[in-house]
């Protein structure tokens, strides 16, 4: 596996691959890689000739300077894992390499950022769209792989890719979980054993919510889930929303499909999770 840090070198490499008629799969990450990231890379290597994984902690998507500062950075372990997964390129640019000539634009997101992560993390999705669009321009992939773990992000990136006219297939991959159900996340590194145990309530609440929707109906099921989360003193619930998975509008009892999305703080760590509950 080759490590490329220069944007122009990355683009040159991709142009070469494309002119040979080969396909490029792309997995953007912020590093501190775990089995969730690995599953995206595995999907890419089976579906493409060449796989590029980027490791870039994108400052523009952090709304809290302390969160950016504390974000885990584990280059050696990431390099080892990507090599073992047979990625072809680890794209590892500096902040200057990504943002040197770019004045920030304001992206229209069709209201997809109006709830959940949007209001709770001001500017976050503008930063995500900015970096992914910049990375698409540099890496020139045919397919790009994102996790359903960040469900709102995946929906917004599908919209952005289409709106900006990228000829890139956006592929959403299932959430990879610890054996006990906790969704894997780079931030889990900061969880104590006790906080890890407490955070299992998040996944369990989603599973019960799915059952309760059938058993009790929409409002009682939602209220029960909120009550369960609020009654756990170790969990500080930021939101629990039931939304239409296509357009992220608030779901109703009549909705055909429902995605339940949760953000909560456990032991000083912000966790998100989601599940199709109908």
| Bridge pairing between strands 259-266 and 50-55 | unpaired
**Separation between Cα atoms, residue 133 and residue 142, nearest integer Å:** 14
Pick 35 or 214: Cβ nearer ligand AMP = 35
Q: Is 168 in the site for ligand AMP (CB under 6 A)?
A: no
Q: Within positions 116 to 145, which residues make up the interface with ligand AMP, using CB under 6 A?
A: none
Q: Which residues carry out catalysis?
A: 37
Buried b (16+ CB within 10 A) or exposed e, 242-268: bbebeebeebeeebeebbbbbbbebbe
**Separation between Cα atoms, residue 35 and residue 154, nearest integer Å:** 18
Q: What is the DSSP letter of 132?
A: H
**Separation between Cα atoms, residue 148 and residue 244, nearest integer Å:** 14
Maximum Cα interatomic distance, the chain, rounded to a whole number of Å: 59
Closest CA to 28 of 219, 157, 215, 116: 157
Pick 36 or 267: Cβ nearer ligand AMP = 36
Q: CB of residue 44 vs ligand AMP: minimum separation in angstroms?
A: 12
Pick 72 or 265: Cβ nearer ligand AMP = 72
Q: Is 202 in the site for ligand AMP (CB under 6 A)?
A: no
| Bridge pairing between strands 269-276 and 50-55 | unpaired
Q: Is 53 in the site for ligand AMP (CB under 6 A)?
A: no
Q: Is 262 in the site for ligand AMP (CB under 6 A)?
A: no
> Count residues contacting ligand AMP (CB under 6 A)?
17
x/- map, 26-45, ligand AMP, by CB under 6 A: ---xx-----xx-xx-----
Q: Is 152 in the site for ligand AMP (CB under 6 A)?
A: no
Q: Which of 88, 150, 212, 273 binds ligand AMP (CB under 6 A)?
A: 150
Q: Which of 124, 143, 149, 222 binds ligand AMP (CB under 6 A)?
A: 149
Q: Which of 185, 203, 259, 274 binds ligand AMP (CB under 6 A)?
A: 185
Closest CA to 203 of 170, 178, 239: 178
- Residues forming contacts to ligand AMP in the complex (CB under 6 A) are 29-30, 36-37, 39-40, 146-147, 149-150, 173, 175-176, 183-186
């Amino acid at each position: 596996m080759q490590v490329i840090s220069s944007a122009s070198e990355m683009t040159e490499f991709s142009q070469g691959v494309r002119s040979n008629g080969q396909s490029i799969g792309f997995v953007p990450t912020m590093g501190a890689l775990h089995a969730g990231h690995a599953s995206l890379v595995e999907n890419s290597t089976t579906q493409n000739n060449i796989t590029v994984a980027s490791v870039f902690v994108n400052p523009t998507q952090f709304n809290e300077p302390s969160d950016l500062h504390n974000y885990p950075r584990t280059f050696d372990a990431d390099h080892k894992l990507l090599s073992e997964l047979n990625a072809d390129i680890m794209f590892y640019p500096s902040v200057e390499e990504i943002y040197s000539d770019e004045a920030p634009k304001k992206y229209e997101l069709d209201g997809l950022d109006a709830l959940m992560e949007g209001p709770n993390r001001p500017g976050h999705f503008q930063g995500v769209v900015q970096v992914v669009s910049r990375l698409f321009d540099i890496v020139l992939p045919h397919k790009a792989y994102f996790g359903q773990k960040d469900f709102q992000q995946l929906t917004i990136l599908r919209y952005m890719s289409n709106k900006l006219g990228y000829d890139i297939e956006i592929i959403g991959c299932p959430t990879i979980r610890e054996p006990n159900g906790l969704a894997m996340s780079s931030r889990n590194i900061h969880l104590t054993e006790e906080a890890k145990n407490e955070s299992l309530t998040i996944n369990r609440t989603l599973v019960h919510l799915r059952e309760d929707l059938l058993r009790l109906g929409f409002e009682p099921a939602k209220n029960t889930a909120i009550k369960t989360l609020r009654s756990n003193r170790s969990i500080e619930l930021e939101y629990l929303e039931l939304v239409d998975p296509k357009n992220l509008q608030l779901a109703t009892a009549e909705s055909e499909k429902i995605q339940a999305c949760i953000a909560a703080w456990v032991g000083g760590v912000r966790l998100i999770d989601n599940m199709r509950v109908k």
